Every structure is written in C-alpha cells, then in structure tokens.
Chain A
Amino acid sequence: MKKINLLYLFGFLMFFASCEFEEQIDPNAPSINSVLTDATLTELNLLVTGTEANMRNGFGNYVTSSGSVAREFYLFDADPRNTEDLLGKDGMMLDNNTFYLTAPYNTRYRVVKNCNILLEALENTENVTEAEKDAYRGFANTVKGYMLFQVLNLMGENGIRVDVADPENLGPFVSQSEAFNEIVSTMETGFSQVQNSDFKLPLSVGFAGFDDAESFGQFNQALTAKILTFAGDYQGALDRLSKSFLDLSADIMNGPQHVFSTASGDIFNPLFKSPQQNGDQIVVHNSMLEDALPGDQRLNKFRERDNPTSQDGLNGTHETALYASSTSPISIIRNEELILLYAECNIQTDNPGEAVNAINVIRSAHGLPDYDGSTDKDALIDELLFQRRYSLWGEGNRMFDLRRYGRLNDQFVPIDRAGDIIHMQFPIPLTEGQ
C-alpha cells in the first residue's frame, strides 16, 4: 500500500517539477547589451538622440547652483538648501550628497556614459561605414568633452575623473590642469573625426545649421575655444576660434541650442519660471540691477515683480525673464559668447585694439555706446567680465569667470546676510568614495 502511495507521489512531483522557466528578458526596455554588439543604424541614431536629449537634464541645476554661488540670482523654491547651503548661510559648507551637486554631476556623467556606449558600439558593428562611424565618433567625443568640462567647472581644484568607460574600474581623479588637457584632447579627437566624415546624424532642430561635418566641426572648435580660454591657453583658444563659427558681423544669437517641446517623453526648459510665480522663482540679485548701465537692453532679461519677494532673509524685486516660455530653447554656445571669448583672448595676448573692437560689437548689439575707458589690461578685463556678466547672465558662467580671475570672494561678490560665505567649488560627491 505504502509503495503505491509513494509511486503516486513521485509521479505527480515529477509532473510538476518538469516545469522549466525560460531565461528572462526585460519586457520594458532594450538592454544595454543589445547595442554593444552589431548595433544597427537605428540603434546608433537612438543613442545619438538620447545623448543630445540628456545633455539638457541637470543643466538647470548646473545653472542655478553655480549662479546662486556667484550671486547672479537666488532660487526661491520649496527646498531650503538653495538659500542656505549654496549661499553658505552661517558659514555652512556645501554638502557632498545633495541635489545641487549630484543632479548636474550625475547627469553630465550619464551623458558621458552614453557617449562611451556609442563609441563601444561603433567598434563592434559592421552596419555602418567607416566614414559614417567617424561622424558618430566625432559627435560622441565632442559631447563627452563638453560634459566633462562642465563637471570640471563645478569641481574646480578638486579635479575630476576623465577615464570612466569601465564602471568596474574607474580611472583616478586627475588634477584640474591635467583634466583640461585630457578634455581638450578629447575635443580635438572629435574634431579630426568629424572632419572628413559622412555626417548624417539625426540631430534635433536645435542643431539646424550645425548638422554637417563642417559646421559641426565649427561647433566643436567653438567649445574647444571656450575650454582653452577657461584653461588659460588664450593663444590656443584664438586658433580654435578661427575655426569656429565666430563672426563679428553676424547675429550674436547664432549658435546651436538645446530645444524643448511638449512631445511625449520630452522635457521643459528647466530655467523657465512662470511670470510672477511664487514658491518657485529665480529672483534676480539686486546687484544686477544696481550695477547695470542705463539703456542696456540686457535688462530685458529681468522682469519686475508685482510683489517684491523674500525668503530666508533674502529679497529681490525682479525675476528671470530670460526665457519666454517653457519650450524656449537654451543656447549651448552662441556667437555672442565667441565674440566675448575673442575679446578676452585678445586682451590676454596683448592685442587691446581687437579686444575693444569685439567688446564694442557686444555693446552696440545691446544698445550701449562704444567702450571709452582705459585700454590697459586690468581695465579691459574688468570691462570684459562686466560684459560677460550681463550677456551670459543665468547661463552657468559667472561663478567660473569670477574664479578664473580670482574674484570669487567677498571683495567682488556681494554678501547679503551676515555670516554667509562664498564657495570656491563643489565638493567631490560622496558616492565617489574619495
């Protein structure tokens, strides 16, 4: 009897135990491995679009974090840390694990990762020609270099990791100067790859006019010129400017842009704030209004508030009007900045006449009379930084401009509350384990 029972048992156990599960496939998204071998043209293009799209993510925090430190404006929103940590309230230091740092830092490196995946995918596919591959490579290296440059701006003397292709084996933190060298070299690699490539990348309308091998190369050189200027290599920058889309007589707004839309999955311009909105507003630092020259049309970037606003012991009468709507584009780099870089490099290479000429292009574009001050180097640097301050307000430059010229201190930056301090750079994020 018992034997029969056991046989029964054995029988049905075997029946059910034969149930074999299939290897799991993610039903929700393609896997990273799917593009690393035999990537198709479509997959490569998707990586390009994803890379371009994600350059925009975290850029808002890049601007608001550095702009708050530089006292271009205050960010009055529900998060107290925008007016406490960033402004060094009561001597408070920057936290190494908070959104104002991690948001721009993580998103920049995420784009770098996507570029590295694109580069790796290109090595393992035969679905596109070598000339086509060079276009992808040039794009990937240009974006990668530019993203690392933004991270380096935040980190300053803390340096950054440049070699991050292998997540299991990240390269070391390198010094600021070494990082500049590596970034420039990445940009130059990208430039040479783009040069004779078969460039048909699916860039958005933001790159209209910068979407062939020649014009994308000019974009690359424009960024390289900016990077070299920030690195202090003014002659090198001048060389690159000559190969960029710099044009003293063209529209100063000319240049590629980050575009935004209401399409499904797309994002809004993170720096647009609704007119007169409370609770989430970029409030112009009062010094921007006090220091402005009469008639400067760049004052249109500021809108007077119906009610002056205050938060955490800070106040302001104007708010940002830099962008007209939540889908207004954000300039990546434009002729205006190239002209200013051209002026700066000419000042630094002792060519004041050309510098004043360039500065006057900017002044006249904004309704100001020609520069009539001293043409000695220090005076011109003052003038240049003044012009950069108003031309590039709210675009993530001021903190680094001040730092480059040793002016990121209370002699040049207004302190609004007793006890506030000015941060020189952002700390290395906690997760880097440094």
Chain B
Amino acid sequence: MKHLITRLGVLLCMLFFATSAIAQFTVTGKVTDSNGEALIGVSILVKGTTVGTVSDLDGNYSLNVPGESAVIDFSYTGFSAQAVEVSPTNNRVDIILKEDIANLEEVVVTGLASSIKRSNLANAVSTISSNQLTGVTTQQTVDGALYGKLTGVNIVSSNGAPGGGIAIRLRGISSLSGNNQPLIIVDGVYITNAEIPSGARFASGANSGSEEGASNRLADLNPADIENIEVLKGASAAAIYGTRANAGVIIITTKKGSSGRTSVTLDQDIGFNTIQRFVGRRTFADSSAVAAAFPNDASAPVLWQQAFEAGEIFDYEEEIYGETGLISDTRLKISGGNSKTKFYVSGGYRTEDGIIKNTGFDRFSTRLNLNHKIADNLTLSSYTNYVNSQASRSFTGNENEGGLSYGYNLAFTRDYINLFPDEDGNYPDNPNAAGNPIYVRDRTTNEENNNRFIQGFNLEWNAYQTDNQVLRFTLGGGFDLLNNETFVYVPEDHQSQRGQDNGFVAVGKNKIFNYNYQVFANYDYFTSNNISFNTSVGVSYLNFERDFILNRSTQLIPLQTNLQQAGAQQIAQTLEMEEDFGIVLQEQINWDDKIIGTVGVRFDKTTLNGDPNRFFAFPRASLAANLANFDFWTSESISQFKLRVAYGETGNSADFGSLFTRLSPVNINGNAGFIVNTSQGNSMLEPETSTELEFGADISLFDNKLGLAVTYYIRGVDDLLYTRALPTSSGFSSEIRNDLQLENRGLEVGLNLNPVSSPNFSWVSGVNFWFNRSEVTQLGIPDGSEGEDIPSFTPPGVAFGLGLGTFYIDEGSPITALWGSGADGPEIQGDTEPDFQLGWWNEFKLFKNIDINFLTHWKQGGDALNLSRLLTDIGGTTPEDITDRFADATNFIEDASYFRLREIGAYYTIPVNSPFMQSVRIGVSGRNLLTLTDYSSYDPEVSTKGGTGLSNSIEVTPFPSSKQAYFHLRLNF
C-alpha cells in the first residue's frame, strides 16, 4: 500500500515538475577548503533526490530546491562530505569542507556497474591512489609499486631483472593449479598478466617455463598513467566477478582529463640500479687452504698459487653483478577539456639497464583517454593505450647443465681461474662448471619484445531520470592485443653447446587476444523516508585467445642466428581459447547511510568447465551499519563507527587443456608418432569455489584525524583443483582432481593518522598490519563415503623433491609449509608464511612546497629455502665455513624476515608564476635503499618457479635484486 502511494507520489511529482508548479526556493553559497581556497566542482545534491549542481570556478553555487525544506549534501573527492539543512529562510549556505584523511568519501566500485562511498562499504577494499603509487619514487612496474602499501597482499619477485617477474597473492593461497594471480581489469578491459616463457629452458636445461624467470605482462602498464587501483582481496568483495575471481580482483583506473585550463606536465627522472647486496665468494689465504677446500683436486692449489702470484684472483660475483645500470624515465602528460569533452594524453619512455651487463628494460607507451558527452544523458569514454616494451634478461635461475645461468655456474666457478677472453677474443672453457659466465654475458642473448594495444570503452546512457529515480544503461568493454616476440641465442662455440646442440636459437611468436563486453542496467530509486535502492542487472562476456609458437633451431651454421641456418629445427604451438558468460543481479539498499545492505549473485559458465553450458552461481551478501549516523550516537569525537560483515563466493576453473587426455607428438629419425601424454585429463571438472566471510569495523576519531579499519576474514576454498601425482606405473604422472579443501584466516589492520595539519606543516601517516594463516582442511573424500581419502603428497613441479625441501599437501598442516625428509618420513622444517607484515607510510609537507615521503616494510618470519647455498656448498664457493653442513633441506631453510626502506623521496616545488610555466619540481628518491635481514642471499623475496601456484620463497640463483636512486625534475606548464 505504502509502495503504491510512493509511486503515485512520484507520478504526481513528475507532473508537477514538468509545469514547475511545485513550491521551490533557491539556495546559494560558496564552498572552500580549510585554507579558504575555493573548491571547484563540488557535488551539491538535495538528499534523497537526484536534484543537484556543482560549484563553479570560484566555488559558488546556486541550487533550486523543491519543497519547503531539505537537506543538501556537499561532496567532493578527497574531502569529507557535509549535510546541511536549508529552508526558504536559511538559503545562504557557505561551506568549509575538511580534507578526508580516512578516505571515507572515496567512491569504491563494488559491482560491475555500480559503486558505493567508502563510508558505506561493507568490505575491506584497499585503494591505492596515484600519489601513493608513484608519488614517492618512480616505479618500474605496477605490481612492484604495491609492495607494503596494502594489507593482505603478499608480493614475491621471481626475477630481479628490470621489467618485472612479480606475483601478487591476496589473502594467501587460493589455488594450486597455477592461477593464484588476481584478475586484472584496466578501464573495464580484462588484461593479460601472462608470463610468457622464451624457451631458454631448452638450452639451459631448466625444468619448466616457469623457471625461466619471464616477466609478467603487467610490466607493460605505465604506473604514471594510473589514477587509482582498487584491490578486491577476497571472495566477499569479488563475488560479482564470479568464476575468475578466486585470487581476487585488481581494478585499475587510469587518469582522466578535467575541464578547464589545459595542463602540460613534463617529467624527467634519472636514476641508477645497483645490486642490493653481494653475497660474497670464498677466498683463500694460501694454497694449503685451497688444497683443504678441494681435497680431490691436486691441480687446485697449484693453479691458485699461479693465479695468486700473477695477481689474477677475480671476484666473479662482482664482475657479473657489479654493474651500475642507468635509468631514464621521461613522461609527458597533457590533459584538459571543456564541459563536453575531456582528454588525457600521455607519452612515456623508460629505459633501464640492469646490474648485469647487457640486461635491461625499455618501455615506450602512449595513452589517450577521452570522455565525451554526446548528449546530456549520454557519455562515451574511450581509453587507448599502446605499449612497446623490450627486455633483455639474460640467463638466471635454475638450470641443468646448460652452462648459462649466472648464479648456477658461479656457484661452481673458482675465482682463481681466468675466464676472460684472450686477445683474439677466445673465451676459455670453465673447467669446473658447464659454462663460462663471462662468455654468457658477452655473447648470448635472451630478449623479448612486446607490442601491445589495449582499448577500453564505456557508453553510459541515463535513460530516465526523475528527482527520485534514475535508470542508467552502460555498455562497456574492450580488448587487449599482445604480440610478444622472444629471441634466445646461444652460439655454437658455447662450452655446453659444442658437440651437442652446436648452437641454439629460439624464436617465439606469441599472440594473446582478450576481449570482453558487458551490458548493465542500473536503477536507483530513492524513497522519501531516506531509503535508497540500487538495482543492477547485466551480462558479461569474456573471450581469451592465445596462440604461442616457439621455433627452435640447433646445429647452427656458425655465427648465424636465422632459424633456417641450422641443421635441426623444432616447432611447438599451443593454442588456447576460453569463453565465459555471466549474468549478474545485485540489489543494494541504503537506509540513510545508517544501514547498507547488499545482496547479489552471479551465474557464470565457461568453456574451461567439463560442461561448458552449465551455470554456476556465485552469491554474495553484505551488511554495514554506520552507528555514528544514528540519532542515538552523541559522541562528537567519534565521527564514524561502522560495523560490517560480508560474505561471498567466487570460482576458478582449471587451466585450459585440463579436460583432455592427449596424445603427444614424438619423432624418431624423422618418423612421426604419438604417445600418451603424462597428464590425465578430466572431462568432468567443475570450478573450485572460494567462500569468504569477512567482518570488521571502521572507526574514525577526532575529526577524522585518526582512522582505524580492522578486518578479520575466513576464506575457504572448496573443491580445490590440484594436480596430483598418480602412480606412474599407470603411464600417467598426474591427474587433475577437484577434492581438496583449504582455509585461510587472517587479520588486517589499517591505521590512518593525520596528527599535524597546519598550513606550514602537515604529517599524514598510515600503518598497515596483516597476517594470514592457512590450513589444508580436507584432502580427498574421507573414508566411509564415496570416493577415496587421498594420502599426503608433493604437488608436481613446485620444488625439487623432499630431499631438498618442498611444499607438501598434508591434511591439517599449513599449505605454505616447507617439508623435508625427516627420520620418520616427511616433516615440516619451515614455513614460508610470514608471522606478520607491517607497512608504514609517511607523508610530510613543509611550507607548502617541500614534500618528504617514505615507506617502510617489515616482514616478520616466513622462511625461504636457499638452494643457491646448496650449490655454492657443492661448488666450494660459499663464503663461510661449511665443514659440518650436509646437503639436507634443514640446512638451507633460512629465516627470511626483513625490514626494508621501500621508498623514500624528497621534493621541492618552486612556484614560477609566469604565463608559460606554473611550477618546477625537483626531487630525489630511492627504492629499496636499505634492507635489514639475516637471510644470506640476495633478497628474501624470491621465487625460482615464477608466479604460479604454490611457488614462493624457493631460491635457486636468481637475478639479484637491485636498489634504485633517482633524481627528478618536473615542469608544469
């Protein structure tokens, strides 16, 4: 009944509105910040309606308000909102907005086409602004820039080479089947973050593509173009993304132009890469020490003595890793627009040399973002990004007899052997290892070249609007086209090539084409008693295609690098096609910003599942109560007290190809044949499902000078997809199964402080504290019911067997534990999960023109398995005494705690109030300048197996991490 009345009211309103017969009055005023500066573009809205305006260039506004009295909301990005009662007699309202330290007003995307104010949000969604992302120092890659800035995020680097090789893990392990990387959406486009191997493993003998240390393709995105990054860490926030969101979702929004004066900014950074630390090499006091170190090598002391007398004892670690790499990053940004069209154009060129000669990364990118109002109610946005990136990464990490990986061969290389070329350019063989690292550095090539085009678009149509309802349609989507080329060359006279492959060339031509679109209808309805409804209905379609071709040639014609100039060729092609289709329904109800509830569901189907047309449902529900907005709340010092709880489910399907049992091609003497593939497919696969319950509280105190957000989550994964080793007597070595359960629990605490805020000095500080704990809760199906109970097992490919330490799936144990062979079988010997992590962010502003910022990151606990050390022990090059050490995992599991000065920067802005130039900013900054750790190798953040699956914190001779120092110059026109 009431509903009917409301509707009738609406209808009446419309009628009256059309004839302007209803009572109304005008409110005017000015909006400023606390320093008295006018605020332009502040949104001014009659509460519970769609009637509103924005403030003009001087901060003034004028608004016609229907009725006899009303409440007007003032909101502006970066400032706390205010609500003021107005009436025909109280119609001059000047407002001073306060800066929103706790980001309560920030709009957070919660659905595919809907958003919500942070103060009303029921999830802990982390947002990184462009200032936090790139404000302190220049970033190499987007993922690298997130280190320590978010709670619940664990970032590992598989490769210290310029150009990335980084894995992001949100709230622990969510999948074993490879995909632990979050879904990444840039301006509505589902972009690829693939690690594309170059085939270097066929020359180095590495076990898999993941050991090649390839970069992940998020490296192509220019961090300077990013306006903000939202991270949906778990299923409760990401449920609306359905079947691809198990590992979380990262939503990246790039910068837009704003109307007004055209602004031109030119940035130039110059910096240097240097190694973070040298591990050191074994040195000898005299030849008897050499004899003792290599008891079975009679020539060793003699050679050492000769070298010593000739002054030819080298430090090959410094020789290889000791370069200072020059970095130059140039960026030009032009943005502006008018009331109809806004634009943002940018171009950037970054070139960076690594700490190993002949390594480096170049990225050239351009972007054009356009927003155009076709009509008052129709807006088209277009986001166009072209990137060319090139990397030269040389050879690092694990290998087997390839004689290529620097660290691997340095472990066996003796410093008294001269490996430098003679005057004719002939490189001596390394008598103690499979390759001469000096030769590898000077003569071999491992490069990639990417051409990438990302296009996003969004069409928004306000189809229908009255003062209490809005119907909006959005059509969005785009594509990501990546052409990746890889090139690996090892000449025929390389020590490990001679007599075997006689030279190696690998040329990869890889194409990834992703496209997606979504259509949504969004209906907002405001009732007179301050309840608003937001209904979203829509569909989403994704299509991912990959075509990877790798050509390899061996038996090369000397000095030739063309694939054809060779005696033997191999071709490999991998095709993958994936399609997803989803239907989304979501309802959000907001009672006067007091209680906000959301329910939603996504139905998804994907060709990765056994039945490609079966829909799986991923529901969500959440509730937030802003206690401080209730009338009974009288405390002035506590401006926000929100309790929230959220539940959601997401999915993840098996990797492409898991459904099939293949026959693989083989060849003998030119005759083709086939043999059954070692992985047994499963045509019945269903997606694994992550369910998450998250609850927490957000509190703001003392005029938002102190904000606290506490979140606890329980995140389970059911029907976990995993590759399990089969009894190999079956002829198969692995199968995909769907029956493992895992649970992650964790606490995240974020604290925002603004202790001092005066015109001449302000200090903003943020502390992020978090930890995660995991447990395998069930393995297989327990006895007594259908199916079988699975015994504990080592997942294939995560490490190097129990003898050297590995991950091991055992019911009741953490999934992150490192196991080794103990006296009574496998036992836990370490755990890669940190006890906790703590990031501390500080921003100081002095006299309006000096900015000093820094970020520290403390990771407490969490072990790493240092197998580099195992190799140097065997090779006799470990710097310290190893007499009592035995090749057992316990000796190589080390505490990888660290405290690191992640970022630090200081800037001085010189105002130049000329018609041509507005300001000049100069500054210095650094990344990873200081690390305190007991970990004995290059960097406690390691992964020799790339970013996939469980792999994390296992080290085999990585590309050493570097630190960077920069000088900055910015010209603002």
* Chain A residues whose C-beta falls within 8 Å of the C-beta of B731 in the assembled complex: 109-110, 112-114, 116, 164, 167
- Tell me if B664 and A206 are in contact (CB < 8 A): no
Q: Known: A23-B612, A278-B433. Contact between A314 and B296, CB under 8 A?
A: yes
Specify which chain B residues have a CB less than 8 angstroms from the CB of A95 in the assembled complex: 801-803, 821
Q: For residues 571 through 589 of chain B, which have their beta carbon under 8 Å from a beta carbon of chain A?
A: 571, 573-577, 579, 581, 583
Q: How far is the CA of A85 from the CA of B412 in the complex (A)?
A: 19
CA A325 to CA B613, docked complex, whole Å? 54
A374 at the interface (CB under 8 A from B): no
The minimal Cβ–Cβ distance linking B112 to chain A, given in whole angstroms, is 14
Interface mask (A259-291 → B, CB under 8 Å = 1, otherwise 0): 111111110100011111111100000000000
Check A114 against B434 for contact (C-beta < 8 Å). Answer: no
Answer whether residue B568 sits at the interface, using C-beta atoms and an 8 A cutoff. yes
What are the interface flags for B715-752 relative to A under an 8 Å C-beta threshold, 1 for contact and 0 otherwise? 00000000001111111110000000000000000000
Q: Inside 8 A of B570's CB, which chain A residues have their CB?
A: 264-265
Tell me whether B358 is interfacial, beta carbon within 8 Å.
no
Does A21 count as interface, using CB distance less than 8 angstroms? yes
> Which residues in B have their C-beta under 8 angstroms from that of A56?
668
The answer to whether B727 touches A433, judged by C-beta atoms less than 8 angstroms apart, is yes
Within 8 A of A (CB), among B645-661: 657, 659-661
One of A75-83, A293-301, A332-340, A401-409 at the interface: A75-83
Measured CB to CB, the nearest residue on chain A to B727 is A432
Q: A1-B464, A29-B664 are in contact. Are A262 and B730 (CB under 8 A)?
A: no
List chain B residues, Cβ under 8 A from A325. Answer: 499
Cβ of B429 under 8 Å from chain A: yes
- What string of 1s and 0s marks CB contacts (under 8 Å) between A1-28 and chain B? 1000100110011001101111110111
- Is B849 interfacial (CB 8 A cutoff)? no
Q: Are B669 and A431 in contact (CB under 8 A)?
A: no
| Contact partners of A149 in chain B: CB under 8 A | none
- The smallest beta-carbon distance between B123 and chain A, in angstroms, is 26
**A310, B733: Cβ atoms under 8 Å?**
no
Q: How far is the CA of A12 from the CA of B670 in the complex (A)?
A: 55
- Determine the distance from Cα of A381 to Cα of B886 in the docked complex, in whole angstroms: 40
B380 to nearest A CB, angstroms? 19
Is the CB–CB distance between A49 and B803 below 8 Å?
Answer: no
- Interface pair B575/A53, CB less than 8 Å apart: no
Cross-chain contact A51 with B675 (CB below 8 angstroms): yes
Q: Per a CB cutoff under 8 Å, which of B401, B612, B729 touches A279?
A: B401
Cβ-based interface call for B498 (8 A): yes
Do residues A51 and B728 form an inter-chain contact, with CB atoms below 8 A? no
- Say yes or no: B519 contacts A16, CB within 8 Å: yes
Residue of A nearest to B614 (CB): A21
B contact residues around A250 at 8 Å (CB): none
Q: Is the CB of B874 within 8 A of A430?
A: no
Stretch of A30-38, A343-351, A382-390 on the interface side:
A30-38
Residues A429 and B434 in contact in the complex (CB < 8 Å), given A31-B661, A277-B495, A278-B495: no
Cross-chain contact B669 with A160 (CB below 8 angstroms): no
Q: Give complex CA distance A51, B663 in Å.
A: 12
Question: Please, how many angstroms separate the alpha-carbon atoms of A16 and B671 in the complex?
Answer: 48
CB of B408, distance to nearest CB on chain A (Å): 7
Specify the chain B residue showing the minimal Cβ separation from A280: B401
Q: Does B514 contact A (CB under 8 A)?
A: no
Q: How far is the CB of A122 from chain B (nearest CB, A)?
A: 16
B673 touches A279 (CB 8 A): no
Q: Which stretch, A59-67, A97-105, A235-243, A365-373, touches the partner chain B?
A: A97-105
Q: Which of A266, A275, A433 contacts B667 (CB 8 A)?
A: A266
B971 contacts the other chain (CB 8 A): no
| A145 CB to nearest chain B CB (Å) | 15
B675 touches A54 (CB 8 A): yes
Query: Is B164 part of the contact surface with A, judged by Cβ < 8 Å?
Result: no
B499, B519, B570 — most chain A CB neighbours (10 Å): B499
- Complex Cα gap A35–B298 (Å): 60
Q: Is the CB of B400 within 8 A of A77?
A: yes
Q: Does A128 contact B (CB under 8 A)?
A: no
Q: Using known A-B contacts A13-B583, A21-B581, determine if residue A259 contacts B401 with beta carbons closer than 8 Å.
A: no
Query: Do B431 and A31 touch (CB < 8 A)?
Result: no
Answer whether residue A90 sits at the interface, using C-beta atoms and an 8 A cutoff: yes
In the complex the two chains form, what is the Cα distance from A19 to B539 in whole Å? 11
Q: Give the residues in chain A near B579, CB-CB below 8 Å.
A: 21
What residue of chain B has the Cβ atom nearest to residue A55's Cβ? B668
Q: Contacting B729 at CB < 8 Å: which of A26, A51, A170?
A: A170
The reply to whether A46 and B674 form a contact with Cβ atoms under 8 Å apart is yes
Residue B677 CB within 8 A of the other chain:
yes
In the complex, which residues of chain A have a beta carbon less than 8 angstroms from the beta carbon of B389? Answer: none
In angstroms, Cα B610 to Cα A24, docked, is 9
Q: Does B1 sit at the interface, judged by CB under 8 A?
A: no
A50/B675 in contact, CB under 8 A = yes
Given the complex, which residues of B lie within 8 Å of A50, measured CB to CB?
A: 663, 666, 673-675
Are the CB atoms of A24 and B607 closer together than 8 Å? yes
Please, how many angstroms separate the alpha-carbon atoms of A1 and B576 in the complex?
46
Partner of B662, one of A30, A276, A432: A30
**B603 (CB) vs chain A CBs: closest residue:** A17
Smallest Cβ distance from A175 to chain B, in angstroms? 16
Residues of A near B575 (CB, < 8 A) are 27-28
Check if B194 is an interface residue, CB within 8 A of chain A. Answer: no
- Residue B399, interface by CB 8 Å: yes
Given A9-B537, A54-B675, A432-B727, A205–B464 Cβ distance below 8 Å? no
Asked if B523 is at the interface of the complex by the 8 Å CB criterion, the answer is: yes
CA distance A45 to B431 in the complex (A): 46
Contact A265–B665 (Cβ < 8 Å)? yes
Provide the residues of chain B in CB contact with A308, threshold 8 Å: 298-299
* B495 cross-chain contacts in A, Cβ below 8 A: 277-279
Q: Are B733 and A106 in contact (CB under 8 A)?
A: yes
B595 vs chain A, min Cβ distance (A) = 25
Cα–Cα distance between A262 and B670 once the two chains are bound (Å) = 8
Residues 516-553 of B contacting A (Cβ, < 8 Å): 519, 521, 523, 537, 539, 541
In the bound complex, what is the Cα–Cα distance between A35 and B661 (angstroms)?
A: 12
A264 contacts B728, C-beta separation under 8 Å: no
Q: Is A353 an interface residue (CB 8 A)?
A: no
Residue pair A24, B296 in contact (C-beta under 8 Å):
no
Is the pair A279, B496 in contact by a Cβ cutoff of 8 Å? yes
Interface contact A263-B669, CB-CB below 8 Å: yes
Residue pair B663, A16 in contact (C-beta under 8 Å) = no
Q: Is B569 an interface residue (CB 8 A)?
A: yes
Query: Contact at A27–B498, with CB atoms within 8 Å?
Result: no
A326 at the interface (CB under 8 A from B): yes
B4 to chain A, nearest CB (A): 12
Please tell me if B16 contacts chain A, counting CB pairs below 8 Å: no
Check B675 against A262 for contact (C-beta < 8 Å): no
B499 touches A265 (CB 8 A): no
- Contact between B729 and A432 (Cβ–Cβ < 8 Å)? yes
Q: Say yes or no: is B471 at the interface (Cβ < 8 Å to chain A).
A: yes
CB distance A54 to B666 under 8 Å? yes
Nearest chain A CB to B794 CB, angstrom units: 7
**A52 contacts B by Cβ under 8 Å:** yes
The answer to whether A29 touches B662 (Cβ under 8 A) is yes
**CB <8 Å contact, B432 and A110:** no
Near A by CB (< 8 A), chain B positions 861-888 give 870-871, 874, 886-887
Give 16 A-B contacts (CB < 8 Å), ordered by A residue: A5-B464, A17-B539, A24-B607, A50-B666, A53-B671, A77-B434, A90-B886, A97-B803, A109-B731, A164-B729, A164-B730, A262-B568, A265-B666, A266-B667, A307-B431, A431-B728
A residues at B contact (CB < 8 Å): 1, 5, 8-9, 12-13, 16-17, 19-24, 26-35, 45-54, 56, 77-81, 84-85, 90, 95, 97-98, 102, 105-106, 109-114, 116-117, 151, 160-161, 164, 167, 170, 202, 204-206, 259-266, 268, 272-280, 307-310, 312-315, 325-326, 429-433
Closest 4 CB pairs of A and B: A113-B731, A49-B673, A279-B434, A274-B499
Give the A-binding residues of B (Cβ under 8 A): 205, 294-299, 399-401, 403, 408-409, 412, 429-435, 464, 471, 495-496, 498-501, 519, 521, 523, 537, 539, 541, 554-555, 567-571, 573-577, 579, 581, 583, 605, 607, 612-613, 657, 659-678, 680, 725-733, 791, 793-794, 801-803, 821, 870-871, 874, 886-887
